[in-house]
Amino acid sequence: MIQKERTLSIIKPDAVSKGIIGAIISRFESSGLLIVSAKMLQLTTDQVLEFYNEHKNKFFFKDLMEFMISGPIFVQILEGNYAIRRNREIMGNTDPMKALAGTIRFDYGESCTKNVIHGSDSESSAKYEIAYFFDI
């Protein structure tokens, strides 16, 4: 049975500064995921604290916060069959060194923090994350 879903994707500051937004979008589109809404924005410290609240006590949080406010991001809603799972497959492992060849993070990521992309990891996080950035 086919399950049409929506998921959030954030192209992070490192990817924006490298000029690879189009290359990343192309991977989603060629995999059958549609972009139903998108925008570029600059996160504030308060927004990062709120959005990544579940990670606030983890060792990497300070670096993540500084990185996410370091430049603009490109936020998009992807839609398609099993969009959450497909998005995560296309992105690859959070750690680019562990990501499969051909995934976005393998090809463009530098570290667990500077891994060029974020994607929702579940249906509940997708709903929260989409609502955080979009009035849909």
What is the per-residue pLDDT for 56?
A: 87
For residue 130, name the pLDDT band (cuts at 50, 70, 90): very high
**DSSP-based three-state secondary structure for 9:** strand
Is 53 labelled as part of a ligand binding site? Answer: no
Confidence at residue 89, expressed as pLDDT on a 0 to 100 scale: 98
Classify domain 4-133 at the CATH topology level.
Alpha-Beta Plaits (3.30.70)
Long-range contacts formed by 89-93: CB under 8 A, 24+ apart: 90/27, 90/28, 90/31, 90/33, 91/117, 91/119
Q: Is there a binding annotation on residue 27?
A: no
18 is in an annotated binding site: no
Residue 105 has pLDDT above 90, yes or no: yes
- Among residues 73, 82, 67, 77, the alpha carbon closest in space to that of 112 is found at 67
Percent of the chain whose pLDDT exceeds 70: 99
Domain ranges of the chain: 4-133
Rounded (10°) angle between helices 21-30 and 83-91: 130
Determine whether the annotation assigns residue 105 to a binding site: yes
pLDDT in tens, 40-91: 999 999 999 999 888 888 888 899 899 999 999 999 999 999 999 999 999 9
Residue with tokens 């308060």: 46
Read off the pLDDT of each residue in 90-115 and give the average, rounded to a whole number: 96
pLDDT of residue 3: 84
- Distance between CA atoms of residues 58 and 115, nearest Å: 17
Cα–Cα distances (Å) from 6 to 87, 111, 116, 130, in that order, read 10, 27, 20, 8
Contacts of 119 (CB under 8 A, 6+ apart): 7, 8, 9, 10, 84, 87, 88, 91
Look at residue 60 in the predicted model and tell me its pLDDT: 84
Residue 1 has pLDDT above 70, yes or no: no
Active site residues per annotation: 118
Percentage with pLDDT > 90 across the chain:
86
pLDDT of residue 15: 97
Q: Which amino acid, residue 45? A: T
Instruction: Quick: pLDDT tens for 107-118.
Output: 999 998 899 999
